Homo-oligomer: A and B are copies of this chain.
Amino acid sequence: VINAEKSEFNEDQAACCQISIRRREPGLEEDEEWLILCSTQFLTGCYWALFDGHGGPEAAIIASNYLHYCIKQKLEEVVGGITEARPPMHLSRHCVCDSDPQFVEEKHIHAADLVVGALENAFQECDEVIGQEMEATKQMGGCTALAALYFQGKLFVANAGDSRAILVLKDSIVPMSCEFTPETERQRIQHLAFLFPKLLDGEFTRFEFPRRLKGNDVGQKVLYRDYFMEGWGYKTVEKADLKYPLVHGHGKQARLLGTLAVSRGLGDHQLKVIDTNIEVKPFLSCIPKVNVFDFALHDIKEDDVLIMATDGLWDVLCNKEVAHVVRSFLAENRADPHRFSELAKHLVCRARGKKRGHQWMLDDSHEASYDDISVFVIPLHNRDED
């Protein structure tokens, strides 16, 4: 994992570690804990995460220091239910109702669902920790979070923000995350403003228009969308519609409250819209979407890898282009024991481009990425021998 180093301050952070979950046998007393410590009652997982900070690197740094700990904690809280395919209704395994196993089966609850729930809760916990830390040190800012956990034969990818993870397999590309931006989450954001209009403090309009409206649009019927619409309609423009839109701009320019380019992530507890008292946090979500990949269902080949990267990479290279680079690089460097980390560097350099005069350009003479770029390349083969 390296960074492009174009900007003065790098706001990307990465983390990677083993996570060991101690199994507490139900009914075992505290003073018998040495028994557990002596035995091999640990489940281990591998963790990788990328954090893309904004408004300073602080939130990303705290997240990179704490998220794995929150995940470990949340997994330990449910570990008693994780070791079998079907979690018990009661963590104590004490059966209150004879048909409890049947209820669990009917709801299709599997051990993997406990890991997903633990990740969802861990992101929330980590967001609270960041809020406390930032308040205590009077710091500002937030970050996106993309975390991958290899645990019990499955890969869990939890994402809150606009980083991305894909599996590049021999014959296919498997997206393991989707991006959360003001554009992709427009309806959720507009709906919240509809339910709680005070959040906009009369300064913003919740409607979306193709462009910011002007005085001479008033009285005209122009294209618009409200929270419940995936389609478009026409609305007669009133003076209130000239306010700045809650979600505005297109693609990389899309902004929430004119302030933020992402709609999910950690931190930003103190963030207000400039020159106003309007808080951004109510519109942000710290909840990740978790995708699961079950290795038992796939035949993993030697060069199959998980690629995780911040938006700096994906802004200039699409999934297909990245997969092409990955496959050809690994095929050409099969003898190199460091080929996976070399590939990560290679991908970063591709996205960073080359300096031509004052501009950074890609090989195909498109403009290169000006953002920080971080990339993980994680080999999937021989998982349990690593």
Contacts and interface: CB of A to CB of B under 8 A. Distances in A.
A229 interface: yes
Q: Quick one: which of A103, A113, A229 has the most chain B CB within 10 A?
A: A229
Interface size class of A (residues with CB under 8 A): 35 or more
Contacts of A94: 220
A32 interface: no
Given A96-B214, A96-B216, A232-B114, A90 B222 contact: yes
A335 B92 CA distance: 66
Contacts of A261: none
A115 interface: yes
Q: Quick one: which of A103, A113, A214, A221 has the most chain B CB within 10 A?
A: A221
Given A90-B220, A107-B250, A220-B92, A100 B210 contact: yes
A124 B230 contact: no
A182 to B, nearest CB: 13
A98 to B, nearest CB: 11
A223 interface: yes
A117 B225 contact: yes
A231 B91 contact: no
B120 A211 contact: no
How many copies, total? Answer: 2
A210 B117 contact: no
A114 to B, nearest CB: 6
Contacts of A211: 89, 97, 99-100, 103
A124 B221 contact: no
Interface string A97-123: 101100110110100111111111100
Contact of A234 (B77, B103, B217, B234): B77
17 contacts: A81-B223, A87-B232, A89-B210, A89-B222, A89-B223, A90-B221, A91-B222, A94-B220, A103-B210, A107-B250, A109-B223, A116-B229, A116-B232, A117-B231, A118-B233, A120-B230, A228-B287
Interface of A: 74, 77-78, 81, 87, 89-92, 94, 96-97, 99-100, 103-104, 106-107, 109, 112-121, 124, 195, 210-211, 214, 216-217, 220-223, 225, 228-234, 250-251, 287, 289-290
Given A78-B233, A90-B221, A107-B210, 5 more contacts: A81-B223, A90-B222, A113-B231, A120-B229, A228-B287
